[in-house]
């Protein structure tokens, strides 16, 4: 038990431990979460929601999640040209 405590304390300085990240899932989609170190948040790629990490504690309450803005790189003009080709 003491060894486990030492491992958890050692990993606590780096934010969320790898072991914890392996078991956390999105509360809405039940899919795995991805750590984003730039924004200090957990990302649910399945539904495009970001959950904040406050003082090393993930806030996985659905109302705390923020919808991510996804850039659409598709070119509508390019797809129109391919549909008109016979």
Q: What confidence tens digit (pLDDT) does each residue in 9-30 have? A: 555 555 788 899 999 999 999 9
Give 54's contacts (C-beta < 8 A, 6+ positions apart): none
Residue 48 has a pLDDT of 96
Residue 1 has a pLDDT of 56
Per-run averaged pLDDT (10 residues), the chain, 86 residues = 58 72 96 95 96 93 92 56 50
Residue 34 has a pLDDT of 96
Give 49's contacts (C-beta < 8 A, 6+ positions apart): 26, 28, 43, 65, 66, 67, 68
Comparing C-alpha atoms, which of 71, 68, 52, 48 is closest to residue 60?
52
């Amino acid at each position: 038990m003491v060894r486990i405590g030492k491992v958890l304390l050692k990993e606590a300085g780096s934010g969320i431990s790898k072991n914890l990240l392996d078991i956390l899932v999105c509360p809405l989609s039940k899919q795995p979460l991805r750590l984003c170190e730039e924004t200090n948040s957990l990302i649910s790629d399945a539904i495009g929601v970001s959950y904040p990490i406050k003082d090393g504690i993930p806030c996985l309450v659905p109302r705390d999640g923020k919808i991510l803005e996804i850039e659409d790189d598709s070119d509508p003009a390019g797809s129109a040209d391919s549909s008109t080709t016979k």
